[in-house]
Amino acid sequence: MKIGILTSGGDCPGINATIRGVSKAAINCYGMEVVGIHGGFQGLLDIDTEPLTSMSVSGLLTSGGTILGTSREKPFKKKATDEEKNERKRLITDNVKKMGLDAIVCIGGNGTQKSAYKLSKIGLNIVSIPKTIDNDVWGTDQTFGFDTAVGIATEAIDRLHSTASSHRRVMVIEVMGHKAGWIALHSGIAGGGDIILLPELDYDINTISRVIMDRFKKGHTHTIVVVAEGIKTMNGRKAGEFVAQQIEFETGIETRQTVLGYVQRGGSPSTYDRILATRMGAHAADLIARKDFGKMVCLRGDKISSISLEDVNDRLKLVTEDNDLVVQGRRIGICFGK
């Protein structure tokens, strides 16, 4: 068999480890031929590929980013007409035949999973692997990249404790996550955050200000507020900036904000993410060997398994009120906004 691998959407620690996992298992265990498709789904439209060998993927385990490059290109854009969509379907189908691909591995987040499902619907043999630091892909307990991002965010929170304490300030740290608060929740708990604001849970700035004032009255020298970038703000303002300004206005306490941004997505993957990416990549090769297509590789408990792409399509995994970290966080005195 001949298979292609593409990476789509934002970069993420562990993508290269996944490419390595797929390739090495496909070549060494199943005797497959492997090609890398450049620039995400755009590479399917342009037939932009390179051969991948066991030698060429050696050394990828620890490297960040993606050697194949990525893009936000979607093969079936919402604004495209039916005629344009049908033309793209024909082009992609013809190109896959020209390349002689028996299957394609799509590595990416929610947008990629949606596109992968649509490709499987037009008859292509697709296996996908979930990747995102946001950890919001439905059907898997965890995505690779998340552990690395949480580690980076936690280290930043650790460092902010000392400067906040020295200056008797409130420090607001904004972390990534779009509509999901997983990074804020995990790093906030691990970093000793006093207030954690998530997109999924409503918050009241007056309650937050009252909690901060109570802390200072009790002798606490500083307060750490961890904010997910996707929380609701007035007039669409940036989360960290909005919360910091509101807190300082309400309390009169000097407040500073730090936005971690893309540093959470860069660099070498953590040990956990290297292992998870390798396991998921090798499992994808096994699914292809068994011709079990239309599936997304997933982590369930401590087992690597798979789920139908149809079940994953258009669904998000979000934090809920009854999440154990939220429940236990409240028990130890963390404020989640109300």
What does pLDDT average to over the chain?
Answer: 95
In a 3-state reduction of DSSP, which class is residue 101? coil
Distance CA 180, CA 200 (A): 7
* Structure tokens belonging to residue 182: 């997983």
Cβ-in-10-Å burial (0-12, 13-18, 19+) of 274 comes to buried
324 an active-site residue? Answer: no
With 0-12 / 13-18 / 19 or more C-beta atoms within 10 angstroms meaning exposed / middle / buried, residue 235 is exposed
Query: Is 109 labeled as ligand-binding?
Result: yes
> Which entry of 11, 46, 134, 314 is annotated as an active-site residue?
134
| Nearest in space to 112 (alpha carbons), one of 323, 237, 265, 297 | 297
Contact indicator for 6, 44 with CB cutoff of 8 Å: yes
Give the tens place of pLDDT for each residue, 225-275. 999 999 999 888 999 999 999 999 999 999 999 999 999 999 999 999 999
Report the pLDDT value the prediction gives residue 77, as an integer from 0 to 100: 76
140 is in an annotated binding site: no
Q: Can you tell me whether residue 336 is helix, strand or coil?
A: coil
Whether 90 has a binding-site annotation, put simply, is no
Structure token pair of residue 309: 């792409």
Among 187, 194, 205, 206, smallest CA distance to 146 is for: 187
Q: What is the pLDDT of residue 216?
A: 92
pLDDT in tens, 9-64: 989 999 999 999 999 999 999 999 999 999 999 999 999 999 999 999 999 999 99
Residue 289 has pLDDT above 80, yes or no: yes
Edge-to-edge strands, sheet with 255-259: 195-197, 223-228, 170-175, 255-259
Distance CA 193, CA 172 (A): 10
Give residue 75's pLDDT: 83
Q: What pLDDT, in 10s, does the model give residues 162-195?
A: 888 888 899 999 999 989 999 999 999 999 999 9
Q: Is 203 annotated as a binding residue?
A: no
Asked if residue 229 belongs to a known ligand binding site, the reply is yes
Asked if residue 178 belongs to a known ligand binding site, the reply is yes
Determine contact, residues 214/207, Cβ cutoff 8 Å. no
Instruction: Read off the pLDDT of residues 271-284 as tens digits, 9 standing for 90 and up.
Output: 999 999 999 999 99
Residue 205 is predicted with a pLDDT of 95
